[in-house]
């Protein structure tokens, strides 16, 4: 009997991906159905449902569930089960009018130009997009990448149960790390783990990330370094480069029997606290008992406080999730301590000063962030050796050397470890 935490709202995983003859039969039928185009976000959500990562969802949400999630983190269709972010499918008014309630449609991925699944349409409804954005993102600012996606989606939402036919290019492109929840659970069980901490990352791991993982290993059986391989905003480091950089770090600086790497196909929403809760839901489905929540988890810009994602876990009902947040303070390299440290452990509060050539000029705390790392490397500036391991820097430098059009990376308040005075 498994010692791992149960999936969210279910005793078993509920994947919606068809296989074998059922997939072949549904695929043949889908070619004759009306096509509903999906955005990259909607496609990635469909795949997450397909592999069971969004257990116990059965399809795209209807209006009652959409409103329940926005207002109170709850799914009325699932007896009020906790859920933090709407999972919806949009369409144009013209297309929505042409689809009858009860009609089956083919779900069309516009990026790969392929049918990803089918859905029986049970509901068509419009929403207040600004209301959703305010509830989920805490802002209606169109400069927020998640808000922008919502505002650009079609005016009508289609709801209904889905059958998933494909995982797109993810299993092949990221075959070294791409995993379904059932596969991750099997690996954890084979190692005899019962407590597993998930490490969410969309950035290459610098020394602060590594420090958090080492702490988690001390209190759990193992750590699941779980990388997002879905779409990112402009300026973020591509997933394939990040995977290579994290491989270099893990293979040399971690015990192999205490760390497992995995990849998942969801697209970032940059929803800060709400997205941290969604990360917790599907990490529980992957078999994780804990989620490492550090500074500015899933945030972007200055829309969220550095520890808002930790606070929200204290605001939800205690029985909302079986998974627990492993909250970590701001970490940094301290020149006085001569090691990585955190606000809870280090008595030296002066800011480290590094000149334009990357040389240390005094002070104690060198604050580390993925945003700052991207900014330094995109501008061709030296990265202090205390920031990240040389193997990681080498891989990232090779990537930035090939980038012809540089995207400006702006520092926000949660990444104020600027090494230039």
Give catalytic residues, as residue numbers: 202-203
Helix axes 390-402, 239-253, angle to 10 degrees: 160
- DSSP string of 28-63? HHHTTSEEEEE-HHHHHHHHHHHTTTTTT--EE--H
Size (the chain), residues: 421
Nearest to 299 by CA among 387, 203, 366: 203
Phi, psi of 353 (to 5 degrees): -115, 125
Write the CB contacts of 24 (distance below 8 Å, at least 6 apart in sequence). Answer: none
Tracing tokens 């990352």 back to the chain, one arrives at: 201
Residue 208's SS3 state is helix
Tracing tokens 């079609």 back to the chain, one arrives at: 154
Helices (H), 103-203: 129-137, 145-152, 170-173, 181-190
- DSSP string of 241-286? HHHHHHHHHHHHHS-GGGEEEEEE-PPP---THHHHHHHHHHHHHT
Number of CB atoms found within 10 A of residue 57's CB: 26
Q: Cα separation of 158 and 39, whole Å?
A: 13
Q: What six digits make up the tokens of 90?
A: 């949009």
Q: Would you give the DSSP letter of residue 237?
A: P
Q: Cα separation of 395 and 204, whole Å?
A: 10
Pairs from 315-321 (Cβ < 8 Å, separation ≥ 24): 316/73, 316/82, 316/277, 317/82, 320/73, 320/82, 321/8, 321/82, 321/277, 321/280, 321/281, 321/284
What are the CA-CA distances from residue 368 to residues 76, 386, 388 (Å)? 42, 9, 9
């Amino acid at each position: 009997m498994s010692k791992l935490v149960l999936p969210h709202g279910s005793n078993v995983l509920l994947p919606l991906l068809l296989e074998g003859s059922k997939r072949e039969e549904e695929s043949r039928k889908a070619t004759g159905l009306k096509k509903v185009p999906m955005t990259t976000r909607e496609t990635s959500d469909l795949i997450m449902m397909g592999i069971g990562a969004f257990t116990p969802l059965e399809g795209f949400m209807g209006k009652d569930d959409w409103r329940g999630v926005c207002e109170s983190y709850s799914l009325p269709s699932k007896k009020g089960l906790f859920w933090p972010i709407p999972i919806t499918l949009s369409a144009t008014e013209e297309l929505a009018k042409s689809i009858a309630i009860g009609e089956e449609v083919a779900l069309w991925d516009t990026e790969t130009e392929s049918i990803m699944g089918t859905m029986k349409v049970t509901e068509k409804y419009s929403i207040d997009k600004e209301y959703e954005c305010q509830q989920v993102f805490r802002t209606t600012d169109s400069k927020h990448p998640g808000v922008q996606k919502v505002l650009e989606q079609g005016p009508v939402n289609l709801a209904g149960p889905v059958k998933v036919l494909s995982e797109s290019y993810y299993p092949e492109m990221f075959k070294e790390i791409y995993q379904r929840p059932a596969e991750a659970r099997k690996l954890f069980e084979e190692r005899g783990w019962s407590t597993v901490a998930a490490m969410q990352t969309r950035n290459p791991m610098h020394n602060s990330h590594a420090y958090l993982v080492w702490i988690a290993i001390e209190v759990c059986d193992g750590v699941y370094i779980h990388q997002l391989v879905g779409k990112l905003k402009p300026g973020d480091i591509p997933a394939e480069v990040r995977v290579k950089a994290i491989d270099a770090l893990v293979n040399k600086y971690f015990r192999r029997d205490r760390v497992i790497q995995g990849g998942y196909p969801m697209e970032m929403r940059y929803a800060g606290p709400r997205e941290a809760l969604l990360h917790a839901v599907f990490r529980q489905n992957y078999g994780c008992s804990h989620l490492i929540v550090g500074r500015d988890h899933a945030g972007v810009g200055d829309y969220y406080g550095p520890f808002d994602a930790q606070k929200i876990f204290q605001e939800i009902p205690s029985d909302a999730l079986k998974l627990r947040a492993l909250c970590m303070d701001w970490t940094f390299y301290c020149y006085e301590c001569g090691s990585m440290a955190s606000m809870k452990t280090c008595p030296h509060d002066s800011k480290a000063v590094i000149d334009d050539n990357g040389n240390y000029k005094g002070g104690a705390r060198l604050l580390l962030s993925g945003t700052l790392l991207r900014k330094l490397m995109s501008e061709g500036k030296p990265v202090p050796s205390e920031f990240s391991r040389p193997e990681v820097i080498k891989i990232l430098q090779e990537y930035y050397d090939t980038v012809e059009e540089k995207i400006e990376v702006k520092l926000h308040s949660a990444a104020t470890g600027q090494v230039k005075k």
